[in-house]
Amino acid sequence: MKFNLENIIRLIRPHQYIKNLFIFMPLFFVGQIQNTELLLNAIAAFIAFSCAAGAIYTFNDYHDIEDDRKHPRKKSRPLASGAVSKRQAIIIMALLASSSFLLMVLLSYSAAAVLLTYVAMNVAYTIRLKHIAIADVTTIAIGFVLRLFIGSTATGISLSIWIVSMTFLLALFMAFAKRRDDVLIYMNTGKRARKVIDGYNLQFLDTAMSIMASVVIVAYLIYVTSPEVIERIHNQYIYLTTFFVILGILRYLKIALVDQNSGSPTEIVIKDRFIQIVLAGWIITFSWILY
């Protein structure tokens, strides 16, 4: 079987790399995004991390090939459908993983250590952790925090407790929404796409999402009104960005609870116009105030 570029791209899921933009957050929040040297380091870290992510997605599909064939959406994935062979998947994994590690080592030993931690955690997630309720969504959320640490170690910028805590809480919120979609699939089709859904039900997930949404908003409000933040950026109007955070959370809740379509956070960001406008508004407003 020959390598097919289209199938390889589908296998490594480059559209999911939008999540790796969190690597740039440390640079953005300290007002150094215009620093060319640091920005180039962040871009290199983004590329290296995306290669690692591609290897992890391939490993996940390789490990879950039989389960994916039972899933209404995942059965069309390259490995599950047979468009990419297992041997090809192993080669792709090896190339991506080695390229990722070499590039990150050249960039920073500390960043390489964080990358290895992320890879090890995701291997554990694929093999075991994703089958344990709460541990599965917590692992996903920690993955986003590790992206921040990659950006921090690659650029030498320290992370504040606020950016770490808010990133973890927001990622946890989206992870619960994703699990809600899995439970709905089981309820509507009778097919158990994930073993972990036995540890969840809609009542728990709806409650968990509501709690996380509330905590994210409160944490953000505390952040934008804290004296140290106002003093650091020399602007007291940063609280205005809370408007976009609240709208974004409410929109995501509607997509999950009303539209019942929260299976892929990445697709929501890519396709939902409302979310895109809110994100653009937040970035523009925050940038105007910060820079």
pLDDT in tens, 19-45: 999 999 999 988 889 999 999 999 999
End position of a domain, from candidates 116, 141, 158: 158
> Quick one: pLDDT band at residue 1, thresholds 50, 70, 90?
low
Give the number of domains in the chain.
2
Tokens of 54: 């591609």
pLDDT surpasses 90 at 175? yes
Q: Do 149 and 10 reside in the same domain of the chain?
A: yes
H or E, element range at 265: helix 265-271
Does residue 167 share a domain with residue 146?
no
| CA–CA separation, 22 and 150 (whole Å) | 9
Lowest-pLDDT range of 3-7, 104-108, 271-275: 3-7
Contact residues for 190 (Cβ-Cβ < 8 A; gap 6+) = none
Phi-psi region of 160 (alpha: psi -120 to 50; beta: other; left: phi over 0): beta
* 241 and 186 belong to one structural domain: yes
Say if residue 186 is in the same domain as residue 86. Answer: no
Rounded to whole angstroms, the Cα distance separating 257 from 68 reads 25
What is the overall mean pLDDT for the chain? 92
**Are 175 and 132 part of one and the same domain?**
no
- The domain spanning residue 79 has which CATH number? 1.10.357.140
Residues 132 and 168 in one domain: no
Final residue of a structural domain among 158, 173, 197: 158
pTM of the model: 0.92
**Mean pLDDT throughout 256-261?**
91
pLDDT of residue 121: 97
Largest CA distance in the chain: 62
pLDDT exceeds cutoff 80 at 70: no
CA atoms within 13 A on the CB side of 193: 19
Are 143 and 177 part of one and the same domain? Answer: no
pLDDT tens digits, residue range 184-227?
A: 988 888 777 778 889 999 999 999 999 999 999 999 999 999 89
Greater confidence, 67 or 9?
9
**186 or 155: which carries more pLDDT confidence?**
155
Alpha helix (H) residue ranges in the chain: 5-12, 25-29, 36-63, 65-68, 78-81, 86-107, 109-127, 135-155, 161-189, 202-225, 227-233, 242-257, 265-271, 273-290
What number of other Cβ atoms are within 10 A of residue 35's Cβ? 15
Residue scoring higher pLDDT (54 or 261): 54
181 and 102 in one domain?
no
Q: Given this model, what pLDDT does residue 240 score?
A: 94
Which of 133, 158, 183 is at the close of a domain? 158
Structural domain harbouring 126:
1-158
- In order, the DSSP letters of 144-188 are HHHHHHHHHHHHTPPPPHHHHHHHHHHHHHHHHHHHHHHHHHHHH
pLDDT at residue 67 above 80? no
In this structure, are 183 and 260 located in the same domain?
yes
Provide the percentage of residues in the chain whose pLDDT is more than 70.
Answer: 99
- Together in a domain, 167 and 290: yes
pLDDT at 194: 76
User: Is the CB of residue 17 less than 8 Å from the CB of residue 53?
Assistant: yes
Question: CB neighbours of 252 closer than 8 A, spacing ≥ 6?
Answer: 173, 174, 177, 213, 262, 268, 275
Same-domain status, 136 and 165: no
The predicted pLDDT at position 263 comes to 77
Positive or negative: CA dihedral 214, 218, 219, 223: positive
CA distance linking residue 139 with residue 171, whole number of Å: 10
Q: Could you read off the pLDDT of 123-150 as tens digits, one per residue?
A: 999 999 999 999 999 999 999 999 999 9
pLDDT at 66: 81
Measured CA to CA, the distance from residue 252 to residue 194 in angstroms comes to 23
Percentages helix, strand, coil for the chain (3-state, rounded to 5) are 80, 0, 20
Same domain, 184 and 231: yes
